[in-house]
Amino acid sequence: MLQKLNPQNEQQNLNRTSAPTVIIGCGFGGMAMAIELKKNGMNDFIILERSSDIGGVWRDNSYPGAACDVVSRFYSFSFDRDREWSQAFAPQGEIWQYALEVVERFGIRQHVRFNAEVLSAVFEEKAGEWTVNLADGHKITTPVLISAVGLFNTANVPEVPGRDTFKGVSFHSSGWNHDYNLEGKTVGVIGNGASGVQFLPKIAPQVAKLNLFQRSPQYVMPKSIFPGGGEWDMWLQKQPGMRWLARLKVFLMFERFIWRRRWKPHLRLQGEAAFKRLLEAKVKDPELRRKLTPNYPMGCKRQLVSDVFYDAMVRPNVDVIDTPIERIVEDGIVTRDGMHRKLDAIIFGTGFKPTAFLTPMQICGLGGRDLNEAWRNGAEAYLGITVTGFPNFFMMYGPNTNAPSSIIFMLECQARYIVSGLKTMARKNARYMNVKADVQRVFNERAQELLSQTVPARADCFTYFKIANGKITTNWPGYATEYKWRTRAVRKRDFEFVSS
């Protein structure tokens, strides 16, 4: 049976084998879901967290310079308007501390079972329940399973020939080796994406020599051009009675960005021209400037933010290498031109696998249908939350919900929608709800139609937003306002409700 809306006693024993609701992951998605459940009197749930603490990417990514590239006034829960942030774009440690505070304030930690990695989940139609299998051999049954594993939880470590032969120190940026002192070392960094743009300026002054092995250059723009980072914004954020306005202003500016991209595509050319002026001012050497100039349109990849990246690139101890890597050897890296660069350490700044949703979990729905098989041509879901054939399975930060603004805004929308679904099931005394196949198909066809008109859809655009067949599986195709409206409540006609 589905849980009652107002249970009298909150469950304390997390070693039990069943629960009315199970959430996988305790990053911001899991927290948003837990808060919304509690807000609606649904206090009986368990959160399965594979690590030893909460926080997700903000727990794991402690590399030097790690920070949010969305202004903190908006990269926080809507009910936290009065929080004082140290700066417009808060650093990793402050964001993680914020997450820890939220967990304590809302009594979430008592619901979390730590070091509980989920291997698989199987839906049993007769019982209307999911059986969740953990890596430690335990099983948990639940009628409602919610994935809040996020988009950036699987590190992308490229299969470079000879990678395991390197005898120096190597690590991915998401697992930074803080015990290794980079001072005076010769370091090779592979990748210059969002993480690299942040940690490269931090380590460049420390190392004797820094070799950046770059697959493709990025558009890196100063923080001042992004919503919420201006002087007036900072003034607003320092006024307790005006912080709601600071948040609203950031939201509306992000919506304006979407409007400009959709209706005024010529503004992209203006952005590219502004970038070239910046690069010419920062990088005087023409050969280095050539290496750092993207050969694809702005908007193809994630827009990167830094005020100091190009200052680091022009340092005399930094070398940008755009010749492809041929192999890694015992003492360094060999590129295709035969150059052998000896290295003390290799850092992989190669990001994550955001299109590999729910990896490596195996989710099996009606008739034993495997979700990976259902997604063989690219992940898709209705509103990024539900998938036909997988009843009572909900996702936070699912396919095509990558935010046009702040993902926390989207997560709050998703949590409200899921709770609306649970309430609807309870009113109908239903065993489970399953989104109709036609509803999911029509939604995704329209989403892909809209996305096909965007820059990332271009054939010359290689980005983590899409998979090999060209399907964009990460981004939301419209305004954040549209998403909030569409997820305000479950539409009963979109689902099949199966009673006991």
The string of pLDDT tens digits covering residues 316-325 is 999 999 999 9
pLDDT for position 463: 86
Asked which of 166-180, 247-261, 471-485 is least confident by mean pLDDT, the reply is 247-261
Asked which of 2-11, 293-302, 358-367, 403-412 is least confident by mean pLDDT, the reply is 2-11
pTM: 0.92
Average pLDDT estimate for 324-336: 97
21-54+108-154+354-499: CATH topology is FAD/NAD(P)-binding domain (3.50.50)
Q: Identify which of 394, 436, 435, 438 has the alpha carbon closest to the alpha carbon of residue 417.
A: 394
The region that residue 93 occupies, defined by phi over 0 for left and psi between -120 and 50 for alpha, beta otherwise, is alpha
**385 in Cβ contact with 419 (< 8 Å):** no
| pLDDT of residue 6 exceeding 70 | no
- Mean of the per-residue pLDDT values for the chain? 90
Q: In what order do the strands lie in the sheet with 21-24?
A: 112-113, 46-48, 21-24, 144-147, 393-395
**21 in Cβ contact with 7 (< 8 Å):** no
CATH number of 163-218+301-348: 3.50.50.60
- 201: helix, coil or strand? helix
| pLDDT of residue 375 exceeding 50 | yes
Asked which of 2-16, 455-469, 482-496 is least confident by mean pLDDT, the reply is 2-16
Band (pLDDT 50/70/90 cuts) for residue 387 is very high
pLDDT for position 10: 41
Question: Same topology for domains 21-54+108-154+354-499 and 163-218+301-348, yes or no?
Answer: yes
Band (pLDDT 50/70/90 cuts) for residue 352 is confident
How much of the chain, in percent, has pLDDT values that exceed 90?
72
How many CB atoms neighbour CB 181 within 10 A? 10
pLDDT for position 84: 81
| pLDDT of residue 3 exceeding 50 | no
Q: For residue 24, what are the contacts with CB-CB under 8 A and spacing of at least 6? A: 30, 47, 48, 118, 132, 145, 146, 147, 148, 149, 361
Tell me the domain boundaries of the chain.
21-54+108-154+354-499, 163-218+301-348
pLDDT for position 227: 66
| pLDDT of residue 394 exceeding 60 | yes
pLDDT for position 9: 37
Q: Say how far apart CA 99 and CA 108 lie, in whole Å.
A: 11
